[in-house]
Each structure stands twice: as C-alpha cells, then as structure tokens.
Structure 1
C-alpha cells in the first residue's frame, strides 16, 4: 500500500500555503516531516487525510482516491486533543467511534479503566491524547499522520505514547508520518526525513 500526493498545491485566498508538493508513504514505513511552525505541515496533513481538498494535484492510496464514506484508512492525530473530541460524550463513546477498542492497545497506552466513564474535561491533555491515539489506531487504519502529536506533553508521556504507537505500527504494518518542528525527534524515530519547504 502506498499513500501518495502528486503535484499538490493549496492556498488561502491569494496566499500560497503549499505549492506543487510530491510525497509518498509506504505501508509499514516511518517517515518524518520536519519544518518550522507555519510552513504548512498541518495543512498538508489535513489534505492527506481528506479534511481539506487540494486546489490542484491528487491524493491516492495505491492509485485510488481515498474513500469519502466509511472508515478512512488515513487517520490524523492532532496536536490539541481537546479540539477533536465531543465534549458531550464520555470517553468510552469517543473511543468506540473507531469500532471496538483494542484492549492490548489501551494497556500499552496506559489508558486506565476508570477514565472510560469520565468526560473529556475531567482528563489532562496527556490522558486525552492517549484516547485520540487509540481512536486513530482502529483495525482498518493503514496510515497514521502524527501532527506534533506529543509536543504539548511531558517527556515521560511522550516516550510512552511513541513506544506504543511504533510497536503497533510495526505489528500491523501501518505507515506513520511523524510531523514535528523538532528535527532531533524525527531523526530518532524515522527511516527518512523530509524537510518541508513552501514557496510562499
């Protein structure tokens, strides 16, 4: 399986955010996307995951368009988990959006049973992000886009989450895009690193 972007461009009004970008991620590959804040990394991830449509170019999996209905095999984990969960749902319902939770995955992420009955505002940022990671790693996920996934978290939580994500990615042959402005992190985790530059 290959996730591929060909000649992708995107702009807000007259401002060019992304210009003629080519990119590919193989299933099972761990690739880094590095670049300074504001260079378009998050926008590019949203395009890859189907949240935004490019103004030109294509996004495909094995040459086919990403499905508009059903489970999206390309899952995006955002930097701010509180912005991507329903505040009116308890954590058990949020987690089950992607299907029946993987008990082994929950354990590896350090998710405690008592957290399942809590509301999002009753959890810390690190606890909430663990749920967002677990939700993104549904059984049909083929590619995971981790957009500054652990930037806001303490070092111990960062290490635990990355260890769990990379272990399950290896086991399930999931392609992972590690997006960060921290060059050292992506060099440590990834087999290759792409420096993201824009033509703004």
Structure 2
C-alpha cells in the first residue's frame, strides 16, 4: 500500500506559499524521515497527509484512491504536544476509544496504567498523555503513522520506550512510518530513507 502526495501546494494568506510542487510517496513496511529547517512546511505537510488540512494545489491518495473524509482516518498524526491533541472534556478511556477498542497488550507495552484510564487529561503528565496519543494512533485501522517531533519534549527513557513499541507495532502490522524530526541520531536509527523538504518544494 502506498500513501502518495502529488504536486502539493499550500499557502498562508494570498501569496505566502510554504509548500509548492511537493511530491512524496511512502509505502507500508518502510520508515521514512522528513527533514528540513524550522518553518519549511514539514508540519503542514504532515497535517495535509493526515487530512487535517486541505492543500491549495495537488492531491493525496492511498493506493490511488482519495483519502476518506468520514470514519477512522488510515493516516494518523501524532503531534509533539499531546495536550493539544486530546479533548480536555473527555476522560482518557474515551480518548482511547476514538481509535477503537484499546489493545491491552499495547497499553501495557507503552506503560499505560489502568488507573489512568479514568483520569482527565490535566491529571496526567506530558509523557503520560503522549503514551495515550500513540496508543490511539496505533489502531488496527491505521495504515500510516506520521510522528511529528513525537518525543522531542520527553525524557530519554520515555523516548526509548515509546519508539521501541512504535517500531515493533508498525513492523508487525505492516504500517508505514513518516518521522518528522531534527534529531540526526534518531533518524539514523529508525529510518531507511530521508526526504529533505527543501529539495522537493519549489
């Protein structure tokens, strides 16, 4: 299965283009890095691929078909700041259920404790919240994960645990992984291919 963006263009305002003429293809079973300096459009491209933004030019397809506009989205984006990605009015169990019935083994591997499920988001730390966001994204319906600086704000131990679980899960379930990061060591360890956005955006 392939996730493909063709000739993507996106602008802020009338003439401030952050992306122009971008082509990118990711296949299930591979881990790809997306790099470039701050402000070059990496997060915007991730949001377009996951359906959060519509491009002003171009299209995004999954195996040649348009991405669905209803139901669970096959491309899941995990943000850098988890508190912005959860509903503060929902307890964590309901947040998890957005991705379907939670996998108990996955929750345990991510270090999510059962008593956390009844808590509100503001009762959890950033690292605890991010574990929930990762678990929600790793649904059986997900085909591609976009990790946008997913662990940049976390301590080294939490980072290592989350990445280990994510890699094992995407490999076992033949998902595709796009890693947006500035960390060269992380990219070298995780990814077999690197896309520099500066080289593919006009």
TM-score by length of 2: 0.96
Q: Which runs of 4+ in 1 moved over 3 A?
A: none
- Trace 1:15-34 onto structure 2 (pairs within 5 A): 15-34=16-35
1:149-170 deviations in whole A, cap 9, x for unaligned?
Answer: 0000000000000000000000
Any gaps of 5 or more consecutive residues in structure 2?
none
Q: Which residue of 1 aligns with 2:64?
A: 63
2:193 counterpart residue number: 192
Residues 118-177 of structure 1: CA deviation (Å, up to 9, x unaligned): 110010000000000000111110000000000000000000000000000000001000
How many residues are matched?
A: 200
Tell me the residue number matched to 1:12.
12
Structure 1 match to 2:123: 122
Q: Which residue of 2 aligns with 1:160?
A: 161
Consecutive unaligned residues in structure 1, runs of 5 or more:
none
Q: Please give the residue correspondences for 1:1-200 in structure 2 after superposition, counting only pairs within 5 Å.
A: 1-13=1-13, 14-197=15-198
Q: Deviations over 1:68-113 (max 9, x none)?
A: 0111100110111001111111111111111100111111111111
Deviations 1:20-67 (A, max 9, x none): 011000011110111122111000000001111111111000000000
Q: CA deviation at 1:183?
A: 2.3
Q: Is the 8 A contact 1:48 1:59 kept in 2?
A: yes
For residues 156 and 36 of structure 2, the distance between their equivalents in structure 1, rounded to whole angstroms, comes to 21
User: What SS does the aligned partner of 2:25 have?
Assistant: strand
